[in-house]
Amino acid sequence: MDTTIVIFGASGDLTSRKLVPALFSNFRKHRLPEHTRIIGVARTPFSDEAFRDRMREAVAGVASGPFDETMWTAFAQSLSYLSGDGGSPEFAAQLALRLAGSGHGPAAVVYYLATAPDLYTRIIRALAGASLLKESDGQGFRRVVIEKPFGRDLASALALNGDLHEVLSESQIYRIDHYLGKETVQNLLVFRFGNAIFEPLWNRNYVDHVQITVAESVGVEHRAGYYDHTGILRDMVQNHLLQLVTLVAMESPVVFEADALRNEKVKVLKAIRRISPEYSARHTVRGQYEGYRTEEGVAPDSMTETFTAIKLHVENWRWQGVPFYVRSGKRMAEKASEIAIQFRRPPTQILDVAAGRTELFTNRLSMCIQPDEGIHLRFLAKVPDQGLQTHPVDMDFHFRDSFVGTPLPEAYERLLLDALNGDASLFARSDEIETSWEIADGIREGWESDYAPPLERYPRGSWGPAAADDLLGRDGRWWIHDCTPHGTAGA
């Protein structure tokens, strides 16, 4: 098959930091189809040579080990560049010429939209106008991968889905959420549905509450132009955090296949209780790190949130009454993404009482998504030679120890291969995106109402505003941070 990947937005950060390194890594692992060509598209004029040099520098810059010069030379031959306005019919005609068969059989084309989102519709229309999206039986395929943000609210997501569906079938559309490409996120499904001993406990009878934290130590960096109009609710919660909620809460699909999986995820999203404005201040917290307003490109009176904590309820048979607390923030104490499943207390606390402990013990399962990838299970053990003294201990699994010599691949490696192979399991379907926007829009509506929680300032390098602790404190709970190399840091 004659395979081509066309990357729109090829002069941008995503292309050089993530996409081309991921493609190169797949090439080194011999996972790209034979005769794969990669065409970078952007307005900036570059020769093929200049584009290759730029990509070489970028890939060498992010490589964890020594740079494989021989492999790069072989890979670089597949890279070329086309400059122009990707949304214009003239450009589409030029691209059509470039895509004309190279004599290796039916043509398979993946168009990757890594541009500013306001260009998506124009690009798609121009491609359709030049018949570059049309599939015919036995003649390869045409697929479109779309980067986030997919809309900025329900109305714009519906409009974008409408535009796409005018010229593409849903099966041709791959909406990326790179969190789903992370090994540890996929391992959540393996952990839940490949093991028999946890699933019986995975419900309201045994789980007290769930916490999901996605904390970053970086600030907005050079993305203020985008970020200041976006905020963390749109940038992280509507997509990554809600995806994590669905994977924790979903039922087992009947088969491990895209639609079955996505049907179950949509059911979870539909079961999430909408937070009406009157409950906004009770169930949500928003914060902004100190100094955010003086960052370059940020409005001096910006009200954009860089932190949020939200209490969600999944109102179904399995999860009724079990809060899901989610939080995410920039400029937090560390980069840490983790999910904690806090189990209920034992029915009696005789051992805690005997040990004179005031903090009552609970079992906890912590799924560490990054950077300390693994799983910890916390349970109580007897302290030797100390009467009835007990102490919480950890049973640990770390990818790096159990799979020595197999470094975790970047999320984009897997996702790019899946798009090439036609597996949409790890991509979001239109109804998934729309339902998540409904949830996010509800929260935003509360933030724009008279019931809005104040925008709290929090110090850089902290765990967010005190109000986030109060959100759990009111329920007699506290935030958990177990995913450190030694586990149970916050226990």
Nearer to ligand BG6 among residue 337 and residue 363 (C-beta): 337
Q: In the bound complex, what is the minimum distance in angstroms from residue 8's beta carbon to ligand BG6? A: 18
Of 172 and 337, the one with the shorter C-beta distance to ligand BG6 is: 337
- Least distance CB 128 / ligand BG6 (angstroms): 28
Which is nearer to ligand BG6, 148 or 286 (by Cβ)? 148
Measured between alpha carbons, how far is 262 from 175 in angstroms, rounded to an integer?
13
Distance CA 224, CA 232 (A): 12
Would you call 214 helix, strand, or coil by DSSP? strand
Give me the sign of the Cα torsion angle 459, 464, 469, 471. positive
Nearer Cβ to ligand BG6, position 81 or 150?
150
Token code pair at residue 422: 């036609």
- Contact in structure between 338 and 213 (CB atoms under 8 Å): yes
Cis amide prior to 21 (ω within 30 degrees):
no
Residues near 139 by beta carbon (within 8 Å), at least 6 away in sequence = 106, 107
Distance CA 433, CA 157 (A): 7
- Which residue in 431, 423, 415 sits closest to 265, CA to CA? 431
Gap between the Cα atoms of 216 and 334, Å rounded: 6
**CB-neighbour burial class of residue 110 (10 A; exposed 0-12, middle 13-18, buried 19+):** buried
Question: 321 vs 461, which CB is nearer to ligand BG6?
Answer: 461
Closer CB to ligand BG6, residue 109 or residue 336? 336
120 vs 361, beta carbon nearer ligand BG6 = 120
Cis status, amide bond into 371, omega within 30 of 0: yes
Q: Which two tokens stand for residue 441?
A: 């829009």
Axis-axis angle for helices 89-99, 120-129 (nearest 10): 60
Catalytic residue among 240, 283, 376, 481: 240
Return d(Cα 322, Cα 472) in angstroms, integer: 13
**What is the nearest approach in angstroms of ligand BG6 to the Cβ of residue 268?**
21
* Distance of closest approach, residue 16 Cβ to ligand BG6, in angstroms: 16
Distance CA 292, CA 295 (A): 5
| Helix (H/G/I), strand (E/B), else coil: 244 | helix
Residue nearest to ligand BG6 (CB): 235
- Least distance from ligand BG6 to the Cβ atom of residue 335, Å: 7
Q: Is 486 a catalytic residue?
A: no
Give the Cα separation of 188 and 190 in Å (integer).
5
Rounded CA separation 333/463 (Å)? 6
Alpha carbon distance 314, 323 (integer Å): 8
148 vs 414 by CB, closer to ligand BG6? 148
Whole-angstrom Cα distance, residue 41 to residue 82? 5
Q: Is 300 exposed, middle or buried (0-12, 13-18, 19+ CB in 10 A)?
A: exposed
CB of 475 to ligand BG6, least distance (A): 27
Closest separation between CB of residue 349 and ligand BG6, Å? 38
Q: Which is nearer to ligand BG6, 240 or 283 (CB)?
A: 240
> How far, in Å, CA of 103 to CA of 93, rounded?
20
Nearest partner of 19 among 343, 415, 310, 318, judged by Cα: 415
Burial (0-12, 13-18, 19+ Cβ within 10 Å), 476: exposed
Report the nearest approach of ligand BG6 to the CB of residue 304 (Å).
Answer: 12
Measured from the CB of residue 148, what is the shortest distance to ligand BG6 in angstroms? 6
Residues at the site binding ligand BG6, with contacts judged by CB under 6 A: 148, 216, 235, 337
The amino acid at residue 448 is E
Distance of CA 59 to the CA centre of its chain: 22
Catalytic positions, written as ranges: 240
